[in-house]
Structure 1
Amino acid sequence: MTTTTFARTSASPTARVPIADDRAMLKAAAELTRDLNAPRPSVYWADFVASAVLGYAALGVAIVAGPLWLTLAAGVVAMLALYRGMSFIHELTHVKHSALPGFRLGYNVLIGVPMLVPSFMYEGVHNLHHARTRYGTSEDPEYLPLALMKPWSLPLFVLIAALAPVALILRYGVLSPLSLVVPGLRRAVVERYSALAINPHFRRRMPEGEAAKQWNRIETACAVWAMSLIALVATGSISPRAFAIMMIVASAVAVVNQLRTLVAHLWENDGEPMTVTAQYLDSVNVPPPATLPALWAPVGLRYHALHHLLPGLPYHALGEAHRRLSAVLDQDSPYYKANYAGMPGLVAKIARSTMLPR
């Protein structure tokens, strides 16, 4: 779902110098990873199913646990595991479905519908973020020049994500059924409230043909689940405590994901088209030896800059691709300029950018 509009500082009077493509880096990235492009279904399924099972089991423990410490510990495990499971929505937009038969269905059954983040909220949206002429422009659904905005935009950007679970229940439990009977509401729901986008000006197109049929089936399942959840809470079938824990865990998933989004790019582009190398340098890798990114940037998201170089590479191959490129590229290659140590330094870097006079 889209966020609210954030205030921006005035544009810098000094025009940015365009960054030319580094041919050596692009060539090495393409040639050294040709054998890594095939996704491994066994890895995808094992990782995804284990994440979902662990997440729901831990959530159950958090709900029934007596001691507060056990509730908190189980809640953290549930949040991290379900967040990892939800992150596979990103892979769905890049991997050919014929290479992973049934994975979209599996995602929607185990994560998409229960967490009200179905696959269609990212499919048909995220690919626009990777379009060479759209990245960082007003037509990019996943880009905001946060580094050029007011300082208070950053905490607002993160905190607003905490409301996502409530917004999703309203989106599917209230707006979905109403959109079937209220003229004009259906188009508004699809265009404005059916995408995991951060650009408030983005409007997605109405689905057509087979995509529309698939969308309707999945959205119907989400609507039934959201309305059932509302009814179960209203009738007391789900206790206030259990519902509160569920919502807190879901909210924590959204906040951690928003923090990860905050440091996925440097957000320094002011709307102009960028070369592939410029897009890479505006993106972020957090490679080993850092260990915490494995938790807050799971399923290959710690190699986000590399992913923008090689968007078709499956998540389990990104680590090997990074090692290969690091072994052959000269130290003056721009490849290393997108590598960072961790989240705190990145947040500080972006925050400092918002405070610069413009």
Structure 2
Amino acid sequence: MQQSPLPAEAAASSATRERRAVRADFQTQDDKDMLRAARDLVRDLGEAKPGIYWPDMLVSAAIGYAGIAAAIFAGNAWTAVFAGVVAALALYRALMFIHELTHIKSDALPGFRLAWNLIIGIPMLTPSFMYEGVHVIHHKRTQYGTIEDPEYLPLALMKPWSLPAFVLIALLAPAALIIRAGILVPIGAVIPPVRKLVWERFSSLSINPEFRRKPPTGDFRKRVLWQETLASVWAIAVLLSPFAFGWRPVLIALAIFSVTAVLNQLRTLVAHLWENEGEPMTVTAQFLDSVNVPPPGRIAEIWAPVGLRYHALHHLMPSMPYHDLPEAHRRLNRELGTGSTYEGANHPGMFPLVGRIARSTMIRR
């Protein structure tokens, strides 16, 4: 005999159906009032300010690397753990500027892309080419949430075990990046089939296993070449470093990078509601499938830094610099008000979102 669902499960199922029904209303047509407000209310915003970008990135990187050094040379375990946590959080914030690099105009911040790659992207084996040209596909209206989207999986519709697997696999990211840049890329330099495989399958920060990256062309190909070369040299140096310095420094650094990778994967897990089954969506439907975690809570600025706590708003205005998103949110929230479509993308925090997606997987099963 099939058991009746528990009250909590029934309520969760009902809430899920209501959310999907609301999004279904905008599956074929947009909320034009919201889109018009998003255009008109922020006309004076949108200029990337070097006085914010540079200090934020440089200070975050400096704290992160100082934390790694402190963890390596710490005299006791608790000091090492504390320094490691500080390093992971600071490097995570510095790393998230890769998202800004994919959206800001190439001439908006002279030298910033080069500096970020040399200070963060290359040392963390995630140069900007791994995101540039990939993330923009995620913002294309006809490709968001489809099989062609490199950054989308219907996680809320998958098996319950897929969620912990999705997060925990990030622990392997630092080792995988070292193998990619230090071993596979040099092999690919002399064996074309390996080079093709590495580029198509392992050269983009994507979560869709079906995504295949197209070959780089033009000026972008030149950027790929120098970034890939430096990353490969650095990865080989890391692989050889235990012979000169022992295993402690590299293992501590890898552990810190693993924490950073897991934190980013958790943020990715709650960046969307992940309830689209592959059909094209309107801008409004994409917005409602995305997540804002606005104030008054402050902890979201730690796990979703550099504007990523306004991820749904970012899908409305992808080119808006991260430092202008809080003001844009305040204006739209004030103008559109309680009960609006805009309010439908606001959520209270990470844990309620994880619980919501987890319940959805269990209901689906």
- Measured in 1, the distance between the counterparts of 2:348 and 2:134 equals 29
| Partner AA of 1:37 in structure 2 | G
- Measured in 2, the distance between the counterparts of 1:328 and 1:165 equals 44
- Measured in 2, the distance between the counterparts of 1:40 and 1:171 equals 35
Given that residues 88 and 259 in structure 2 are in contact (C-alpha distance below 8 angstroms), is that contact kept between their aligned partners in structure 1?
yes
- 1:172 corresponds to which residue? 181
- Measured in 2, the distance between the counterparts of 1:158 and 1:348 equals 14
Q: Are residue 42 (structure 1) and residue 51 (structure 2) matched?
A: yes
> Which of the residues 216, 237, 250 maps onto 1:228?
237
- 1:292 corresponds to which residue? 299
Q: Deviations over 1:306-349 (max 9, x none)?
A: 00001010000000001111111132211111111110000000
| Partner AA of 2:92 in structure 1 | Y
- 2:208 corresponds to which residue? 199
| Partner AA of 1:42 in structure 2 | G
Deviation at 1:213, TM superposition (A): 1.4
Given that residues 55 and 82 in structure 1 are in contact (C-alpha distance below 8 angstroms), is that contact kept between their aligned partners in structure 2?
yes
- 1:269 corresponds to which residue? 276
- Measured in 1, the distance between the counterparts of 2:236 and 2:203 equals 17
- Measured in 1, the distance between the counterparts of 2:185 and 2:151 equals 24
- The TM-score normalised by the length of structure 2 is 0.92
> Which of the residues 286, 294, 319 maps onto 1:312?
319
Q: Are residue 254 (structure 1) and residue 266 (structure 2) matched?
A: no
Given that residues 158 and 364 in structure 2 are in contact (C-alpha distance below 8 angstroms), is that contact kept between their aligned partners in structure 1?
no
1:1-358 equivalence runs, <5 A: 17-19=24-26, 20-233=29-242, 235=243, 237-357=244-364
- Measured in 2, the distance between the counterparts of 1:187 and 1:101 equals 32
SS in 1 for 2:290: coil
Given that residues 24 and 285 in structure 2 are in contact (C-alpha distance below 8 angstroms), is that contact kept between their aligned partners in structure 1?
no
Unpaired segments ≥5 residues, structure 1: 1-11
Unpaired segments ≥5 residues, structure 2: 1-16
**What root-mean-square deviation, in Å, do the aligned CA atoms of Structure 1 and Structure 2 show?**
1.4
Given that residues 47 and 321 in structure 2 are in contact (C-alpha distance below 8 angstroms), is that contact kept between their aligned partners in structure 1?
yes
Deviation at 1:18, TM superposition (A): 4.7
> What percent of counterpart residues are identical?
59
| Partner AA of 2:41 in structure 1 | L
- Alpha carbons of 1:160 and 1:178: their partners in 2 closer, same or farther (altered >3 Å)? same
- Measured in 2, the distance between the counterparts of 1:43 and 1:166 equals 33
- Alpha carbons of 1:333 and 1:74: their partners in 2 closer, same or farther (altered >3 Å)? same
SS in 2 for 1:213: helix
SS in 1 for 2:276: coil
Given that residues 171 and 262 in structure 2 are in contact (C-alpha distance below 8 angstroms), is that contact kept between their aligned partners in structure 1?
yes
Structure 1 runs of 4+ aligned residues shifted over 2 Å read 14-18
- Measured in 2, the distance between the counterparts of 1:357 and 1:114 equals 41
| Partner AA of 1:294 in structure 2 | E
Given that residues 238 and 250 in structure 2 are in contact (C-alpha distance below 8 angstroms), is that contact kept between their aligned partners in structure 1?
no
- Measured in 1, the distance between the counterparts of 2:310 and 2:337 equals 19
- Measured in 1, the distance between the counterparts of 2:192 and 2:62 equals 41
The structure richer in helix per residue is 2
Given that residues 97 and 103 in structure 1 are in contact (C-alpha distance below 8 angstroms), is that contact kept between their aligned partners in structure 2?
no
- The TM-score normalised by the length of structure 1 is 0.94
| Partner AA of 2:296 in structure 1 | P
Deviation at 1:209, TM superposition (A): 2.1
SS in 2 for 1:184: helix
- Measured in 2, the distance between the counterparts of 1:64 and 1:17 equals 56
Deviation at 1:223, TM superposition (A): 0.3
Q: How many residues align?
A: 344
- 1:6 corresponds to which residue? none
Deviation at 1:25, TM superposition (A): 0.8
- 1:7 corresponds to which residue? none
- Measured in 2, the distance between the counterparts of 1:338 and 1:183 equals 45
| Partner AA of 2:277 in structure 1 | D
- Measured in 2, the distance between the counterparts of 1:183 and 1:46 equals 41
